[in-house]
Chain A
């Protein structure tokens, strides 16, 4: 019954967008209740659909669109878990925003745009074909542009919005190129009669794509998947297209929470997961995914260590965690095949809960103290107990703290959601290393785990402990903001226990679509106890280091934080990526060199020299003559026609009639 109304999952928030935009001004809290109701509706339908299709059904609806393309809905295990997470987290963020945005005069625009943002992301998730996926994906990009630039009168916000759109656009173009190449190969395959589309199915549908995999040349498949991954690199902020995400902090904190948890950056990971059968058939691409993911996890974590803006630390944390998800898909994909999707998606969802929680906690703190700089905070624990406690829960989840009791014959382990989800990825990377001898991705993952733990507890200690470093009288946020924190904290703590059920359900995903994937049997040997404990060990170690430095303050780090320290300089300048992207590539190379020399050629050579000076002088004289002919309005009209007819007569005569 719910499944029949699956289209409403997207359409309700779209409707809320239109209504809030135009009528929000007249409604309570800028019309916030409309998107809240709509997204609640999306969540209810998603959840109802889940109950209907669990454990082994899917929903497929499709309509013909234009030029052989279609629009349609595919709800399979992969999609439905995402739908539930996105609508649920987005709902909580919207409720929280009623408090957080209470004093902003542009609330209708805010709630309209976040509603569209959610709709676009939901549209990405339930697309049954790659074109519609791309369209919704681009609309996600649009909404991020609008929301990062929400306070458009701030020059930094306008710049950050543009950067987000353009950097992700680089990825989008690669994605589009992948679609071009895919369409070409699909058409070739169909026209060579090696493969025919099932009746009622369309050329760019996922099921058609998967069915055609064996017929597409492997080289082309590698290229297509790499281009798709290029899109994912842009959207999910992977190296080298990661720079927009930390800058995206210019929007309201609730927008950051949406971007980082629910509605944007996970789209890239989802793209790889969605087209995973193609990646499995192109192992070279999986290797690239693993390396880029692993490297990004570590690379971003190094910058997270030195940032002083609370949201920026969290932003690098997101980049790093997305790296883990990519690593999970790539490395575990090579080690165990299709099961990697479950592993990675599980981390995606558990991360969504605790990262949304972190941003909302950060928002609560910023709301209270009026600054983003953790150096100016401190000692907030006593004043903001709920925020502080929920934040430490999120931090424990991010650091992956837990005890793997299951290895001691006890039927369950104890731990935060991140403990279950992140460890599975690290073990996947290890399994890949064991099979191939390539332990580099695993080393990336472990080092990143250590740094993760250090930077997140540094943030917590600096914010909530010690002596207050500003005059502000901080106070706990209102209930409308703290209740969502508590709900998310519950998920951050306990979501991990759904692990085996989750894997069992999502692993069936591609089977249900009738896709056969190469099965790798790599799980037979359970990893040694040291490997199992390694992530927890580095997590605790990181905590202790931060505790020692930032709580007990036994080590004064200020002597390292100077512009003379090249490492610090490199990190605080973010490896000079902003300078490179905006200044060198954007302004200097593209605008000053290429565009301006084009302008010179156009104005001075093509137009100035050839047209004006050589041809133009003659033409201008001709023009003077003609202008003399044209003195009045109606007469002109007649004159030119007569001129034309005269010319015609002459030509006719010359033609020898």
Chain B
């Protein structure tokens, strides 16, 4: 299997370059689809060969790069990264199918989408902190252009805001990475950006204050990306202006980088931080506030897409809550929530895109009864909304159920608060459906057309996947649980939780 990971990243990179150079949109989308498809095949092969019973890094690859600073291209997968790699390689080809009809600067459009794939795959597979950071930043750039070129009326504002906000967070994170780097260098005498080495040497930092500062800097970097309240306000703006494909990638993949950071970096550091008890509580508060705040804000929205954006904040709050609870199955539930939300949110944003395209507006109050003329969309959208509100039989339920029942052991009050939000979550989803999709058709909309076939295919596949992973979570959940167990055992050794 050696070389598969780098191949999986390299092929879409080459694909992106070729796509930029193509002259027609037919060529561009064919190249983009083909190369992302190859990545999907490789990730499926890796997924099949993955040993779910081992928490060790698998398929490891190591290529020396800047040896004097100990920077290597080190890639590998464990139960934390593998599912997200699978998610990324599923979402990108489906996004390309969904955006099959794109006409504006198509070669750049598809090329940027492929670059997003390169970026997120790099983030989820890099085991060298420096390389990880490069990929982390690479992801920003194509998204910036997707918003600023293909975006809505306020695209410049949204694109800049998105870029600056998340970039500042990245810089704060970078400072923490360097602190870890110099700390480890001082200790071992050899420079290395190896992720596990840096994380391991965190525990020997003398000053508890410095430890907490590093911890908080990293946490800040990750939760801005998720995003968690109160660092979330870039998200609704970015989504409202972004083209559908951009929103899909942003919500399904980019937000997951933040959650990934929690499992990859934050949890291993937690027991050795200066004040672990407070930091756990802080994370739990951030998680549950995001859940409830996102829910109520979603309820207040008039723009369907903004509502979906706030629902993402709410759902990502479950990830933080499950991670903070530090119970093996709450942590793997949180990982599963990432995977599941990645699939579900695609359907939601695609629905918004189809409505915008078909009816010319996304304002809930200006729609009404569109199911009459868009029955296929209404069906798929309802499926997505039901998945999003946590209907059993769909993947979101498994994740939220695991988080709720297991987090109760350590964070009972927070779980009760989160439960309180469930009714309102159902509320804003169904209320929006009632006003926008059902009821009497709003004749002012004139003649609107239903979803295009390629859009329908893409959404239908996603819905089927959501149902499949709602009925059979094991293929993905087992590998998550293996690593979650190992993480929690590691944390418990320090007696953060009993």
Flag if A623 contacts B164 (CB, 8 Å): yes
Shortest Cβ gap from B124 to chain A (Å): 20
Most chain B CB inside 10 Å of its own CB: which residue of A139, A172, A595, A619: A595
- Docked Cα-Cα span, A627 to B230, in Å, equals 26
Flag if A142 contacts B371 (CB, 8 Å): no
Flag if B423 contacts A173 (CB, 8 Å): yes
Mark contacts of A128-151 with chain B using CB atoms, 8 A cut-off: 1 yes-contact digit, 0 otherwise: 000100110011001001000100
Shortest Cβ gap from B430 to chain A (Å): 5
Shortest Cβ gap from B138 to chain A (Å): 8
Indicate whether A467 reaches chain B with its CB closer than 8 angstroms. no
- Docked Cα-Cα span, A157 to B332, in Å, equals 40
Residue numbers in B under 8 Å from A636 (CB-CB): 141, 145
Within 8 Å by CB of A590, from B161, B369, B427, B440, lies B427
- Docked Cα-Cα span, A633 to B171, in Å, equals 23
Within 8 Å by CB of A595, from B299, B393, B416, lies B299
Binding stretch for chain B, among A162-170, A273-281, A298-306, A348-356:
A162-170
Within 8 Å by CB of A162, from B108, B297, B430, B481, lies B430
Flag if B404 contacts A162 (CB, 8 Å): no
Flag if A180 contacts B405 (CB, 8 Å): yes
Flag if A138 contacts B405 (CB, 8 Å): no
Within 8 Å by CB of B434, from A162, A173, A177, A634, lies A162
Flag if A599 contacts B300 (CB, 8 Å): yes
Flag if A640 contacts B141 (CB, 8 Å): yes
Mark contacts of A54-80 with chain B using CB atoms, 8 A cut-off: 1 yes-contact digit, 0 otherwise: 000000000000111000000000000
Flag if B391 contacts A142 (CB, 8 Å): yes
- Docked Cα-Cα span, A141 to B447, in Å, equals 34
Residue numbers in B under 8 Å from A67 (CB-CB): 329, 332, 402, 477, 481
Indicate whether B50 reaches chain A with its CB closer than 8 angstroms. no
Residue numbers in B under 8 Å from A655 (CB-CB): 178, 182
Shortest Cβ gap from B401 to chain A (Å): 8
Flag if B145 contacts A153 (CB, 8 Å): no
Residue of B nearest to A160 (CB): B434
Mark contacts of B29-44 with chain A using CB atoms, 8 A cut-off: 1 yes-contact digit, 0 otherwise: 0000000000000000
Indicate whether A386 reaches chain B with its CB closer than 8 angstroms. no
Shortest Cβ gap from B425 to chain A (Å): 9
Residue numbers in B under 8 Å from A620 (CB-CB): 160, 164
Known A-B contacts A595-B296, A595-B299, A599-B300; A149 and B438 likewise in contact (beta carbons under 8 Å): yes
Flag if B182 contacts A135 (CB, 8 Å): no
Indicate whether B422 reaches chain A with its CB closer than 8 angstroms. yes
Flag if B419 contacts A651 (CB, 8 Å): no
Flag if B419 contacts A173 (CB, 8 Å): yes
Residue numbers in A under 8 Å from B424 (CB-CB): 590
Known A-B contacts A176-B404, A180-B415, A602-B297; A158 and B439 likewise in contact (beta carbons under 8 Å): yes
Flag if B402 contacts A173 (CB, 8 Å): no
Indicate whether B6 reaches chain A with its CB closer than 8 angstroms. no
Within 8 A of B (CB), among A304-339: none
Shortest Cβ gap from A152 to chain B (Å): 4
Flag if A135 contacts B393 (CB, 8 Å): yes
Most chain B CB inside 10 Å of its own CB: which residue of A181, A598, A606, A652: A598
Residue numbers in B under 8 Å from A68 (CB-CB): 329
Within 8 A of B (CB), among A156-199: 157-159, 161-162, 165-166, 169-170, 172-173, 176-177, 179-181, 183-184, 187
Indicate whether B392 reaches chain A with its CB closer than 8 angstroms. yes
Flag if B419 contacts A152 (CB, 8 Å): no
Residue of B nearest to A633 (CB): B108
- Docked Cα-Cα span, A177 to B175, in Å, equals 42
Flag if A166 contacts B233 (CB, 8 Å): no
The B interface, classified by DSSP as helix, strand, loop or mixed, is: helix
Residue of A nearest to B416 (CB): A177
Residue of B nearest to A594 (CB): B296
Within 8 Å by CB of B430, from A131, A166, A616, lies A166
Flag if A134 contacts B297 (CB, 8 Å): no
Flag if A602 contacts B402 (CB, 8 Å): no
Shortest Cβ gap from A142 to chain B (Å): 6
Residue numbers in B under 8 Å from A646 (CB-CB): none
Residue of B nearest to A643 (CB): B137
- Docked Cα-Cα span, A173 to B392, in Å, equals 13
Indicate whether B445 reaches chain A with its CB closer than 8 angstroms. no
Shortest Cβ gap from A329 to chain B (Å): 26
Flag if A622 contacts B164 (CB, 8 Å): yes
Shortest Cβ gap from A418 to chain B (Å): 35
Shortest Cβ gap from A241 to chain B (Å): 11
Indicate whether A155 reaches chain B with its CB closer than 8 angstroms. yes
Flag if A138 contacts B391 (CB, 8 Å): yes
Residue numbers in A under 8 Å from B134 (CB-CB): 641, 644
Within 8 A of A (CB), among B18-70: 20, 69
Flag if A153 contacts B481 (CB, 8 Å): no
- Docked Cα-Cα span, A594 to B20, in Å, equals 48
Indicate whether B285 reaches chain A with its CB closer than 8 angstroms. no
Residue numbers in A under 8 Å from B297 (CB-CB): 595, 598-599, 602
Residue of A nearest to B328 (CB): A67
Shortest Cβ gap from B397 to chain A (Å): 8
Residue numbers in B under 8 Å from A599 (CB-CB): 297, 300-301
Flag if B430 contacts A165 (CB, 8 Å): yes
Flag if B296 contacts A152 (CB, 8 Å): no
Most chain A CB inside 10 Å of its own CB: which residue of B416, B434, B437: B434
Flag if A180 contacts B409 (CB, 8 Å): no
Shortest Cβ gap from B429 to chain A (Å): 10
Within 8 Å by CB of B160, from A138, A165, A170, A627, lies A627
- Docked Cα-Cα span, A512 to B168, in Å, equals 65
Flag if B423 contacts A598 (CB, 8 Å): no
A-B pairs with beta carbons under 8 Å apart, 9 shown: A67-B329, A138-B391, A153-B369, A155-B439, A165-B430, A173-B423, A595-B300, A606-B230, A634-B20
4 additional A-B pairs beyond A158-B438, A599-B297, beta carbons within 8 Å, are: A166-B426, A626-B164, A633-B20, A640-B137
Kindly list the 7 A-B residue pairs having the minimum CB-CB distance in the complex, ordered from nearest: A158-B438, A595-B300, A135-B392, A599-B300, A607-B233, A595-B299, A623-B160
